[in-house]
Structure 1
Amino acid sequence: MKHAISRRRFTLAAGAAVLASALPRPALAQTPTRLKMILNWRYQGPQGWFFLADDRGYFREEGLEIVMDQGNGSGAAVGAVASGSYDIGFGDINALIQLVARSQPGAATPLAISALYNRPPFTIAVKADGPIKTPKDLEGRTIGGPANDGALKLFPAFAKLAGIDASKVAITNMQPNLREQMLQRGQVDGVFGFVNTIAFSAKLVGIDPAKDFRFINFGDYGMDLYSNAMIASRKLATENPNALKGLLRAINRGLKDTLKDNDAAIEAVAKREPLINRAVEKERLVATLASEMSHPEAAKLGIGDIDDARFRKSIAIVVEADGLPRVPAPDEVFSRAFLPPLADRVTKLG
C-alpha cells in the first residue's frame, strides 16, 4: 500500500510539473537601462510631459530608468552631454550647432534626436516705460542673463542680423532667480531669456510682464530658429539606438497625456517641486505649447521632426552671424532615425 501511495504522489507531482511547463511564463525581469538626463531649467510646467512619462511607467515599459536632474540653462544642457556627465539632455539645438561647427568633422559630438521647440523663444526683455524700443537702442546699455542662457549665447548672431554694434553692449551675468527683479529695479537695462520663462517668472514675484516689460524677440529679426531639443551622446546613439527610440516613444506618450490633461502634468511637476505656484506653472505650460511648439510645420512633420530646408538656413544663420569656422551638415547635428512613426507622434497641440 505504501508503494501505491508513493507512486500516486509521484504521478501527481510529475503531472503538475508537466502542466506548469505548458503554461505561459512571465518574462524574466531584465535590468533596465539607466540613463542620466539633464533638463533645460529647474522644475517648471513645460517639463510636465517628462514627469508624466516617468510617473505612468512609460520609460519603464521601454526598459529604461531615467534619472532627471534640474538644469542651469538650455545651452548648459548641451555642454553637460558633450562632457559625458549626462547621457541625454533637453537643450538648445543652436548651442549644439555652435559646438559642432567648432569641432572637426567626424568628432563624437552630441546629436539632436527630437526638436520639441520648433519656434524661437529667444528674447531680450526691457522696461516698458524705458528708452529701449528697438534693437539699436541696446547700444550703450547693460544687458544681463544667466551665463548659460540660450538667448545670451545667441546674442552675437542676433546683433549682426539686427544691425547692433555688439561691442557697444555690456553683458553681465546674474543668477536666474534675480533676473526679473534686477530689470524691474533698473540694475540692468535688459535681460536675456525665453519669453515665457521671463514672463511667468515675473508673475511669480508680483511683476506684470504685459504692463511692465517690452520684449525684443529674436525671431522678429530674421532668426527663424529651432530651439530646445532632446540631445543624446553620440556614444549612446551608436551603441544603444533602441534605448533612444524607447525614450522618444515614452516622451511622446507623456506629451499626449499632457495635452489631454494639463493639470495632471502640473501635478507631476509639483510631485518633484511642491512649492511651485500651480496656477502660474499651468499658464507657463499652456503658453509654451501655444508658442514654442506651435510652428505650422508640425501638422505635416509632427512634433520632433524638422524641415530640412529651414534647418539648413538656421545653421547658416548661426554660423555666419557667429563667425564659426565651418558649416556643419544637418545630419551632423540632427537625426530623425530615433523618432516614433509620424502616425504615432503628436501633430496638433490642442
Structure 2
Amino acid sequence: MHRRQFIASAATLSSAIAAPAVWAQSAPKLTPLKFTLDFRVTSQTAPFFLALNKGYYRDEGLDVSIDVGAGSVASITRIASGVYQMGLGDISSLVEFHAQTSGTPLVQAVYQYYNRAPFVIIGRKDRGVTGDFASLKGKRVAAAAVEATRRAWPMVARKLRVADDHFAWTTTDFSARDNVMVRGDVDAATYFHDSAVSLFARMKTEELSVLKYTDAGVNLYGNAILASNAMVTQQPGVVAAFLRATNRALQETLANPLPAIAAIKQREPILDEKVELERWRLTAQYVAAADTRGHGLGDVRKYLLEQQVDQIVEVFGLKTRPSADGVFNRGMLPALAERTLKA
C-alpha cells in the first residue's frame, strides 16, 4: 500500500517538474524587431508604446524594441545600415535617398503615419513675423543642420515665388531651439507643429505666429513607417504584423489618448501629461488629415505622392527620379476596414 502511494506521488511530482519544460517547448517563438523613432519619446509616437504595453506586437508574434531617434532623416540611414529593421522617417528625405542610391531600394515606406507633414515656421510677433511667410523676409530662422522642415523650405519658396534665401538660417541643435526663441537670439524657428508645445509652454501663443507649410499650398506627406528591403522581400509577413498592431493602437489612441499617454509615461516618467495631451491633439490633425477619411489611415493618394516626388527632384536638382511605387509600398498595409477612421 505504501509502495503504491509512493509510486503515485513520485509520478505526480515528475509530471509537475516536467510541465514547465513542456510549456516552454510549446510557447511560440517571437520574432525580434528593432524599431527606431524619429526623435525622442513623446505623445507624437504614443501609439507605438501603447501597442508595446498592451501586448499587440506580442500577439502578432513579435518581440519589438523601440529606441529614440536622431532626427527623421537619420532614421533612413539607420535602417539602410541594417542596425534597425524598421523605423519612423521623413518620406521626402526617402525620395532623395532613393535618387542618390542605385539598384534595389534599401528602404521603403510601408505605412504613412503623418498624412500631412506638420512642417511649420514659428515666429515672434514682436520681431515683425506676422501671419504670412512674406513677413520672414530678412529675418533669422533657427533650425537644426539636417532636419526635414528646413530641407522642405525650398519647396515652399518655389510655391510662393520667393528666393530660397528669403531669410537667413541660424543653425542650432534641436534641444536649443526653444531657448534661442525665448531669449530672442532669432526671430523664428522651424518646428514640427506638434513639437512646438514645449515652446508654447514658455511663450504665450498670442506672442507667436505659426506659419504652416500646408497654408502655402505645399501638401507634403510627412514621416512614414519605413522598412528595410530585407524585411520587405524576405519577411513581409513580419512587416504586415507590425503594421496591424500599430494601426490597432493608433485607432485606439485617436479615440482616447489617455492610455497611450500613460504608456509613454512608463517609458519617460518625467513627461507632463497635460503637455503631451496637447501635443497629441496637434499630432492627430496631421495623422488623421482629411484624406484619411477616403483611403484610411496609413495610405497615400498616388498622384499626390507623384507630385511630391516631382517637386523634390526639381528643387534639389536630383539626377534620377524615383518612382512613387518604389518609395511607398502599400502591399503590407492592414485591410481597409481596419484602417478606416473610427474616432
TM-score by length of 2: 0.88
CA RMSD of aligned residues (A): 2.6
- Distance across 2 between alignment mates of 1:164 and 1:323: 18
Would you say the 8 A contact 1:36–1:68 is kept in 2?
Answer: yes
Partner residue, 1:126: 123
Instruction: Report the secondary structure of 1:312's partner residue.
Output: helix
Partner residue, 1:42: 40
Partner residue, 2:319: 325
Q: Are 2:282 and 1:284 aligned?
A: no
Partner residue, 1:79: 77
Would you say the 8 A contact 1:161–1:321 is kept in 2?
Answer: no
- Distance across 2 between alignment mates of 1:265 and 1:319: 38
Structure 1 residues 47-101: Cα deviation after superposition (integer angstroms, max 9, x where no partner): 1111110011111111111111112222222232223332111111111111112
Q: Are 2:333 and 1:339 aligned?
A: yes
Partner residue, 2:180: 182
- Distance across 2 between alignment mates of 1:165 and 1:118: 28
| 2:115 maps to amino acid | N
Q: CA deviation at 1:272?
A: 0.5
Q: Are 2:54 and 1:56 aligned?
A: yes
Out of 231, 234, 243, which is 2:226 matched to?
A: 231
- Distance across 1 between alignment mates of 2:275 and 2:93: 28
Would you say the 8 A contact 2:44–2:283 is kept in 1?
Answer: yes
Instruction: Report the secondary structure of 1:154's partner residue.
Output: helix
Partner residue, 2:156: 158
Q: Are 2:104 and 1:107 aligned?
A: yes
| 2:133 maps to amino acid | P
| 2:128 maps to amino acid | P
TM-score by length of 1: 0.87
| 1:197 maps to amino acid | S
Instruction: Report the secondary structure of 2:121's partner residue.
Output: strand
Would you say the 8 A contact 2:117–2:221 is kept in 1?
Answer: yes
Deviates more, 1:125-134 or 1:231-240: 125-134
- Distance across 1 between alignment mates of 2:146 and 2:67: 16
**Mind listing any 5+ residue stretches in structure 2 that lack a counterpart?**
16-22
Aligned length: 331
Deviates more, 1:85-94 or 1:333-342: 85-94
Instruction: Report the secondary structure of 2:225's partner residue.
Output: strand
Deviates more, 1:330-339 or 1:162-171: 162-171
| 1:130 maps to amino acid | R
| 2:109 maps to amino acid | A
Would you say the 8 A contact 2:295–2:340 is kept in 1?
Answer: no
| 1:120 maps to amino acid | A
Deviates more, 1:93-102 or 1:240-249: 93-102
Partner residue, 1:207: 203
Partner residue, 1:294: 288
| 1:61 maps to amino acid | D
| 2:341 maps to amino acid | T
CA 1:168–1:297: 2 relative to 1, 3 Å: closer
- Distance across 2 between alignment mates of 1:343 and 1:329: 27
Would you say the 8 A contact 2:251–2:341 is kept in 1?
Answer: no
* Structure with max Cα Rg: 1
| 2:193 maps to amino acid | V
Structure 1 residues 211-256: Cα deviation after superposition (integer angstroms, max 9, x where no partner): 1211222112231111111011111111111110000011011112
Would you say the 8 A contact 1:300–1:347 is kept in 2?
Answer: no
| 1:239 maps to amino acid | Q
Instruction: Report the secondary structure of 1:166's partner residue.
Output: coil
Partner residue, 1:20: none
Partner residue, 1:266: 261
- Distance across 2 between alignment mates of 1:137 and 1:326: 35
Would you say the 8 A contact 2:37–2:69 is kept in 1?
Answer: yes
